[in-house]
Amino acid sequence: MRTAVMGAGSWGSVFAKILAEAGGEVTMWARRESIAEAIRTTGRNPDYFPEAALPRNVTATSDPASALAGADLVVLAVTSQTLRANLTAWAGQIPADATLVSLMKGIELGTTKRMSEVIVETAGVDPSRVAVVTGPNIAPELVARQPAAAVVACTDLSRATAVQEAITTPYFRPYTNDDVIGCELGGAVKNVIALAYGIATSMELGENIKATLITRGLAETTRLGVALGADPLTFAGLSGLGDLVATCCSPLTRNRTFGEHLGRGLSLEQAQAATRYTAEGVKSCLAIRDLAHAHGVEMPITEQVERICHEGVDPKVALATLMSRQTKP
Ligand code: 13P
């Protein structure tokens, strides 16, 4: 199996390692030639997990056409909001029957589209050619070959199975699922709930309310999913509850950490300066809120995270709003 991993960020780099350890031939595309060259010459990505040696069957290039040439799998691992521009540039170079695999856990701003929808639209491929890999997959744990499971979601089960085989290792156990909408939505909304969890953590709130954030966060994710046509049971699985629990409870995740800064009273800009990244949920919360409004779905936690991030609302005020919200019978 020949794979192109388009993106040399945190998850892209770890996923390339998993693919290679499962026996695939992997070419990573890095935006900067200096990173591609470092991977080629030292077998390590200096930006992400430099301590981790990449197997010999991983190479890298900054030329998208040579990464994509002859690929059976094209793994898309760029940041969610840059997918459309990147894929527009690459679309003509994607081999005719390649499976496109999305690792991204975001919703596009402005269009409120899921990443697989952006792929179908931009690459002009049939939806059955797009698979989504998601689940509780915290990158630093996987670099250390800590055991983990994931979901490969695709409407074409034979493609899902081919991706599953390409990424199965003794420490990585992928399942298949045909509910692309549910799997993808769970991955995107959990980032927003993890921001809320991080905020609650640095406000030194107790376990009762943090468990409530996870549980009610899952409830609002499921409500939106059902409105979009997902199977509600998907949200009880790895891509829903699994990823939500891992991302909230691990102090290593970017979304929870970013939330912790916000909960200490830092503004969005100050939190960005402190972390040197923008957590995926910070942008996606706007698109998810818009998607919920468009479908008449109530997402009170997402709503308050959006207000804290983008409207400068004090987390204490957001908490009071959530606590005094009218409950429904
Ligand atoms: P972040 O580190 O971006 O918060 O996400 C972790 C994750 O998606 C685990 O599955």
**What is the Cα 147 distance to its own chain's centre?**
19
Rounded to the nearest whole angstrom, what is the distance from the C-alpha of residue 255 to the centroid of ligand 1? 7
pTM score: 0.96
Quick check: 231 pLDDT over 90? yes
Rounded to the nearest whole angstrom, what is the distance from the C-alpha of residue 329 to the centroid of ligand 1? 34
According to the model, what pLDDT value does residue 66 have? 97
Strand partners, 74: 4, 100
Q: Tell me which of 133, 138, 245, 252 to substitute to probe ligand 1's pocket, judged by most ligand atoms within 8 Å of the beta carbon.
A: 138
pLDDT tens-place string over residues 9-33: 999 999 999 999 999 999 999 999 9
Cβ(132)–Cβ(102) below 8 Å: yes
Cα separation of 303 and 154, whole Å? 30
Instruction: Write out the DSSP string of 95-141.
Output: -TTPEEEE----B-TTT--BHHHHHHHHHT--GGGEEEEESS--HHH
pLDDT tens-place string over residues 137-184: 999 999 999 999 999 999 999 999 999 999 999 999 999 999 999 999
Atom of ligand 1 nearest to the CA of 135: 10
pLDDT tens-place string over residues 110-130: 999 999 999 999 999 999 999
- The secondary structure of the chain in percent helix, strand, coil, rounded to multiples of 5, reads 55, 15, 30
Rounded to the nearest whole angstrom, what is the distance from the C-alpha of residue 260 to the centroid of ligand 1? 15
Rounded to the nearest whole angstrom, what is the distance from the C-alpha of residue 328 to the centroid of ligand 1? 32
Cα separation of 89 and 105, whole Å? 21
Atom of ligand 1 nearest to the CA of 252: 2
pLDDT band at 329 (very low <50, low <70, confident <90, very high): low
pLDDT tens-place string over residues 79-99: 999 999 999 999 999 999 999
**Ligand 1 binding site (Cβ under 6 Å of any ligand atom):** 105, 136-138, 191, 194, 243, 246-247, 253-255, 279-280
According to the model, what pLDDT value does residue 326 have? 86
